[in-house]
Amino acid sequence: MTTDIRPKNIDWENLDFSYIKTDYRFISKFKEGKWDEGELTTDNQLHISEGSTALHYGQQCFEGMKAYRTKDGSINLFRPYENARRMKNSCDRLLMAPYPEDKFVEAVKKVVRANEEWVPPYGTGASLYLRPFMIGVGDNVGIKAADEYIFSIFATPVGSYFKGGMKPSNFLVSTYDRAAPRGTGAAKVGGNYAASLLPGKEAKGRSFSDAVYLDPETHTKIEEVGAANFFGITKDDVFVTPKSPSILPSITKYSLLWLAENRLNLKTYEGDVFVKDIDQFKEAGACGTAAVIAPIGGLQVDEAFHVFYSETEVGPVTKRLYNELTGIQFGEIEGPEGWIEKV
Ligand code: PLP
Ligand code: COI
């Protein structure tokens, strides 16, 4: 049972990515055209109508972000307004009532402050994962947007998303798609993740960390690595990452793109990444809030297994990107203006 865990009992260094019930979550309701003020609650159960559109038609979306404990004990959020903006885009795509972006960040801070003792200590590598989400609720049955919504944010302390964290692991190019060509791939909506459960299970069943998805239209280009974006470093030191309307625009990926260019002095390219050309890369990785940077050791493409830098060692550019990114998040390195928001 997760409910009995208290911060003093947690082995912070060995946390994985599992749900631990923390003390407070934020909840706000949209009814008759407006959001209420919202409140913190200790109740982690939702009581909703059986006619909720989230239950039948997948009218829901979510975000993923983290709070980081710094050396001086203060707490950092990383680019939270980007999450607020992306959630608005997801809401627009599914005809949901957007939650005001400044209030989103305010509510995230409230949840972190209320759960302060759950923010992992500095130096453990762990962080407090925040999960803002919105669901369509109310008494409905026809396929149409709901009139009522619930917006909530819960927090749970986490460690590595992929087993081993910053250690290389292998991935499998899937024959399935997670999103349709002009569908919802760029929105953070539950349906994309439901579609990824079977391919993810197949990949894990074959001892890979997760599935790599190709572009749904031609199946020739790399798009996503499970619930993370892809990047590769070419032999002549270009940071390359796919661009496609069916990829989730990763805040981590755009941060790495900026860091590669401005801190590591690499050239960068965002465009097509043909799977047939993967031997151009000397290093490759998956990046995201949960994944941070997970180095891709090898990639199984049909019958062929391609190794990037090494199946056991992290490449030097990947390592530098990781140090730069996590250094900023944990407050050890000065980031560009606006990247860190103090709680
Ligand atoms: N791609 C998918 C499908 C994801 O679920 C995530 C996680 O949020 C990402 C990429 C990475 O995005 P971000 O860096 O904004 O967390
Ligand atoms: C994230 O990186 O925040 C994600 O949302 C990935 C996954 C846990 C869904």
Compute, in angstroms, the gap from residue 248 CA to the centroid of ligand 1: 6
Which of 105, 134, 158 is the last residue in one of the domains?
Answer: 158
pLDDT tens digits, 307-331? 999 999 999 999 999 999 999 999 9
Q: Is the pLDDT of residue 166 over 90?
A: no
Compute, in angstroms, the gap from residue 176 CA to the centroid of ligand 1: 19
Which of 158, 179, 199 is the last residue in one of the domains?
Answer: 158
Q: Which residues line ligand 2 (CB under 6 A)?
A: 64, 227, 288-290
Provide the CA 181 distance to its chain's centre, in angstroms: 21
Residue 263 lies in a domain: yes
Q: Which residues line ligand 1 (CB under 6 A)?
A: 64, 224, 227-229, 248, 250-253, 288-289
Residue 259 lies in a domain: yes
Compute, in angstroms, the gap from residue 4 CA to the centroid of ligand 2: 25
Residue 33 lies in a domain: yes
Residues 125 and 253 in one domain: no
Which residues carry out catalysis?
188
Residues 174 and 297 in one domain: yes
- Nearest ligand, CA 196: 1
Buried b (16+ CB within 10 A) or exposed e, 129-152: bbbbbbbbbbebeeeeebbbbbbb
pLDDT tens digits, 16-74? 999 999 999 999 999 999 999 999 999 999 999 999 999 999 999 999 999 999 999 99
- Closest C-alpha to ligand 1, atom 4: 227
Kindly indicate the confidence band of residue 164, based on its pLDDT and cuts at 50, 70 and 90: confident
**Number of structural domains in the chain:** 2
Residues 126 and 197 in one domain: no
- Closest C-alpha to ligand 1, atom 2: 227
Residues 62 and 147 in one domain: yes
Residue 82 lies in a domain: yes
Domain CATH code at residue 227: 3.20.10.10
pLDDT tens digits, 198-227? 999 999 999 999 999 999 999 999 999 999
Distance CA 325, CA 154 (A): 24
Residues 191 and 124 in one domain: no
DSSP state of 212: E
CA–CA distances in Å: residue 152 to residues 27, 61, 83, 99, 201? 4, 11, 14, 10, 28
Residues 144 and 176 in one domain: no
Tell me what pLDDT residue 1 has.
46
Residue 124 lies in a domain: yes
Residues 277 and 297 in one domain: yes
Which of 126, 158, 190 is the last residue in one of the domains?
Answer: 158
Contacts of residue 217, defined as CB under 8 A and 6 or more positions apart, other chains included, come to: 181
Residue 235 lies in a domain: yes
Domain CATH code at residue 124: 3.30.470.10
DSSP state of 173: E
Per the CB < 8 A criterion, the answer to whether 168 and 310 are in contact is yes
Residues 71 and 29 in one domain: yes
- Nearest ligand, CA 226: 1
Q: Is the pLDDT of residue 3 over 90?
A: no
Residues 196 and 224 in one domain: yes
Residue 342 lies in a domain: no
Tell me what pLDDT residue 160 has.
86
Residues 185 and 154 in one domain: no
Residues 175 and 149 in one domain: no
Domain of 292, in residue numbers: 169-329
Compute, in angstroms, the gap from residue 313 CA to the centroid of ligand 2: 25
Mutate which of 160, 161, 163, 329 for ligand 2 pocket (most atoms within 8 A of beta carbon): 161
Mean pLDDT, to the nearest integer, of 322-342? 96
Residue 341 lies in a domain: no
Distance CA 158, CA 166 (A): 15
Buried b (16+ CB within 10 A) or exposed e, 191-208: bbeebbeebbeebeeeeb
- Nearest ligand, CA 250: 1
Q: What's the mean per-residue pLDDT of the chain?
A: 96
Tell me what pLDDT residue 239 has.
98
Question: Which atom, in ligand 2's list, is nearest to the CA of 289?
Answer: 2
Question: Which atom, in ligand 1's list, is nearest to the CA of 65?
Answer: 16
CA–CA distances in Å: residue 13 to residues 128, 159, 164, 210? 13, 7, 12, 23
Residues 176 and 301 in one domain: yes
